[in-house]
A and B are shown apart, each in its own frame.
Chain A
Amino acid sequence: MNQPILSIRELTTVFKTDLGLVRAVDGLDLDVPSSSTLGIVGESGCGKSTVGLSIMKLIPDPPGRIVRGRILFGQQDLTRLSNNRMRRIRGNEISMIFQEPMTSLNPVRRIGSLISEVIRLHQGVSWKEAREKSIQALAQVKIPSPELRVDDYPHEMSGGMRQRAMIALAISCTPRLIIADEPTTALDVTIQAQILSLLKGIQTSLGTSIILITHDLGVIAENTEQVAVMYAGQLVEYAATSRVFEQPLHPYTTGLLLSVPRLGSKAEQKRRLKVIPGAVPNLLTLPPGCRFAQRCEQVKPECRHSEPDLIDRGNGHLVRCWKYA
């Protein structure tokens, strides 16, 4: 319970582009606590999806590559694993679900066939047994009449059902860790709630750890116990979710929270939405110093000078800001 299920140290993932080398993830240190949900939140381009893909070692090479760092899972450093060993982990001990259920399932294969294939691959059972297990997996994700649905093609299902099917695929071999990359962004709000509660249920019943990657603070608030805030490829704040929402330390986090429209007292409703001025910095031409300095309201001269380190403010609350140096 106390040992994190996954530990990332100094992870740096780069992409080669026409105009130069981009460090999508730059020196990331992160612990994923076991049997709970860690949220990774940030704007588009902050590197959160890249973290998920890096853990799974699914970064397309070219143009991307993990150039530095360690990803410790159990006794193994995933970055050092051979392709073969890594394949035994994918879909088996660590699974990933993606954002677009519409396009993430093979349109010419039946759902049952997709799931059975993976079960057979990792568990070596017969087709018949694998089919039984597929039906069970579909039942676990609360798809009605799973024994009929197992032979459906993806286009015969609704968006919400497709996402459930993808989750079924991900849990079919009872992984220890599930990485969910914006699993609900492409879905209706009502379906969103169902999917998220489904994930919660899986976590409790199977004891799985979950990394929930999203840009939606509302999702973070309701569904995670721990949260990591990312900006421009770096971790800027890390703490228990309740702490971050009650006492955000980093100016970026504060800005994010203030920019969320809220229902509440009349005064709250009349409040103008606070927007963080400026835009995400160009990763090719990062200014020296703190990456958030250009947009920070509380910026000080030293912020533009050098990059702050990650500081522990006690109770497991980490923040990267000169305010707390």
Chain B
Amino acid sequence: MPDPTPAAVSSLPERRSFGSLAWRRFLRHKLALIGTGTMVLIIIVALLAPLISPHDPNHVDLMEAREGPSKAHPLGSDVVGRDVLSRLIYGSRVSLSVGLVAVSIYVVIGTILGALAGYFGGWVDMVISRLIDAVLSFPVLMLILVIVGTLGPSIFNIMIVLGLLGWPEVARIVRGQTLSVREELYVLSSEAAGAGSRRIIVKDIIPNILSPIIVNATFGVARAILIEAGLSFLGMGVQPPTASWGNMLNDAQSLSILENMPWMWVPPGMIIFIATISINFMGDGLRDALDPKLN
């Protein structure tokens, strides 16, 4: 591959650490910064929900049902009189927790399995790789729908299912990275010094392959949020009365609500979009910052 930068530049002494260079690159990414800022805002809203929410999100009041935006209800009320804004605020907790928990689960599983496969090779690798291929061949959505449909829809079930089905992608990446890092000098010298496998994997290998894991995890959170919202929308995810951005959109399946009461479905839809695109921007910025060659 032709690298126009003359060799004399590539042989420059490492003036700055990898971290600070990456940070500089990230800061140059305007969209990533906007995305990060937005997510920080949403996280703060989720954490401070009880304090900033104007009403109890589950408080039903049929007298106030189906009202447009007003002073009492800044974003209006839904079909049973609950305050849309409050439900929107509390819904952030659901989405964020599902996203973070599910991704944490599958990143941990995927990293462990991928590192084992990459480091030990042999039959360990074979078994894990076959497992990866097998799970990737599953019709994932069918599985999710059936599990959630039969075992009962709940936020917990969704987190577990997403966590258990999302690991192959991470495992594949980690395995590939482990394989390429495995022959590096610092690993070999640790082995020569007699360090145990677990120590090598944890201390030498994993810290050096974090970048693609972080990027993948970031995009994963966005995907998890979309899936949870979609399931809740279908009635197979978080159930009312608990507020989820997805199930707030469920009401809009009736054409009359869709046409006449946009305040019920536009805000949750928009907020899902905003959260997702913000995370995607963050992920893109992270990817450029941590591994600029990839773009």
Q: Which residues of A contact B (CB under 8 A)?
A: 15, 17-19, 22, 24, 44-47, 50, 53, 59-60, 63-64, 103, 232, 279-284
User: From residue A257, how far is it (CB to closest CB) to chain B in Å?
Assistant: 22
Kindly list 5 other residue pairs between chains A and B, CB separation below 8 angstroms, not including A15-B9, A45-B9, A45-B11: A15-B4, A24-B6, A103-B1, A282-B8, A284-B9
Contact call B5/A280, Cβ cutoff below 8 A: no
Q: In the assembled complex, how far is the CB of residue A30 from the closest CB belonging to chain B, in whole angstroms?
A: 18
Top 5 A-B residue pairs of the complex, sorted by shortest distance between their CB atoms: A45-B8, A45-B7, A44-B7, A24-B6, A283-B8
Q: How far is the CB of B185 from chain A (nearest CB, A)?
A: 21
Report chain A residues within 8 Å CB of B11: 45, 279-280
Query: What DSSP secondary structure best describes chain B's contact surface?
Result: loop
Is B6 a contact partner of A47 (Cβ separation < 8 A)? Answer: yes
Residues on A with C-beta less than 8 A from B15 are: 19
| A-B residue pairs in contact (CB < 8 Å), sample of 12 | A17-B5, A18-B21, A19-B15, A22-B6, A24-B6, A44-B8, A45-B6, A45-B7, A63-B5, A280-B11, A283-B8, A284-B12
- B: contact size bracket: 10 to 19
Q: Which of A50, A232, A282 contacts B12, CB < 8 Å?
A: A282
Q: How far is the CA of A46 from the CA of B7 in the complex (A)?
A: 8
> CA of A137 to CA of B2 in the docked complex: distance in angstroms?
27
Known interface pairs A282-B12, A284-B12. Does A50 touch B6 (Cβ–Cβ under 8 Å)? yes
User: What CA separation (Å) do A15 and B8 show in the bound complex?
Assistant: 12
CA A44 – CA B1 in complex, angstroms? 16
Contact with A along B225-245 (1 / 0, CB 8 A): 000000000000000000000
> A19 contacts which chain B residues (CB < 8 A)?
9, 12, 15
Most chain B beta-carbon neighbours within 10 Å: one of A17, A18, A283: A18
If over half of A's interface residues share one DSSP class (helix, strand or loop), that class is named, otherwise mixed; here it is loop
Q: Which of A22, A63, A103 contacts B8 (CB 8 A)?
A: A22
B15: nearest chain-A partner, CB-CB: A19
Q: How far is the CA of A64 from the CA of B6 in the complex (A)?
A: 10
A45 to chain B, nearest CB (A): 3
Would you call A17 and B9 a contact (CB within 8 A)? Answer: yes
Give the residues in chain B near A24, CB-CB below 8 Å. Answer: 6, 8
User: Smallest Cβ distance from A166 to chain B, in angstroms?
Assistant: 15
Q: How far is the CA of A15 from the CA of B11 in the complex (A)?
A: 15
Most chain B C-beta atoms within 10 Å of own C-beta, residue among A24, A47, A64: A24
User: Residue among A22, A59, A63, A279 with the most chain B CB within 10 A?
Assistant: A22
Pick the most buried of B8, B11, B21: most chain A CB atoms within 10 A of its CB: B8
Tell me the chain B residues, 41-87 only, with Cβ under 8 Å from chain A: none
A53 to B9, CA, bound (A): 18
A residues within 8 A CB of B1? 103
Rounded to whole angstroms, the CA-CA distance of A46 and B11 in the bound complex is 12
Query: Across the interface, which residues of A come within 8 angstroms of B5, CB to CB?
Result: 15, 17, 22, 63
**B29, chain A: closest CB distance, angstroms:** 15
Instruction: List chain B residues, Cβ under 8 A from A46.
Output: 8
- B6 CB contacts on chain A under 8 angstroms: 15, 22, 24, 45, 47, 50, 283
CA A98 to CA B5, docked complex, whole Å: 16
A53 to B11, CA, bound (A): 21
Query: Distance (Å) between the CB of A1 and the closest chain B CB?
Result: 34
Provide the residues of chain A in CB contact with B12, threshold 8 Å. Answer: 19, 282, 284
**Min C-beta distance of B75 to chain A, whole Å:** 46
Give A20's nearest chain B residue, CB to CB. Answer: B9
CB pair B4 A63 closer than 8 Å: yes
CB-defined contacts of A282 to chain B, threshold 8 Å: 8, 12-13
Complex formed: what's the CA distance from A53 to B2 in Å?
A: 11
A280-B13 Cα distance, complex, nearest whole Å = 12
Specify which chain B residues have a CB less than 8 angstroms from the CB of A60 in the assembled complex: 4
- In the complex, the chain A residue whose C-beta lies closest to that of B8 is A45
A164 shortest CB reach to chain B, Å: 21
A282 CA / B6 CA spacing, docked (Å): 11
Report how far A103 CA is from B1 CA in the complex, Å. 8
Return the contact of B9 from the options A22, A59, A279 (Cβ within 8 A): A22
The complex places the Cα of A279 from the Cα of B12 at a distance, in Å, of 11
CB contacts (< 8 Å) of B21 on chain A: these are 18
Chain A residue nearest in CB terms to B21: A18
Cα(A284)–Cα(B7), bound, Å: 12
Question: Contacts of A45 on B, CB cut-off 8 Å?
Answer: 6-9, 11
Complex: how many Å from CA A283 to CA B12?
9
8 Å CB contacts to A: which residues of B1-39? 1, 4-9, 11-13, 15, 21
Q: Return B105 CB to nearest CB of chain A, in Å.
A: 38
Q: Bound complex: CA of A64 vs CA of B5, how far in Å?
A: 8
| Min C-beta distance of B57 to chain A, whole Å | 49
Contacting pair B7 A59 (CB below 8 A)? no
Return chain B residues, CB-CB under 8 Å to A22: 5-6, 8-9
Q: How far is the CA of A213 from the CA of B65 in the complex (A)?
A: 81
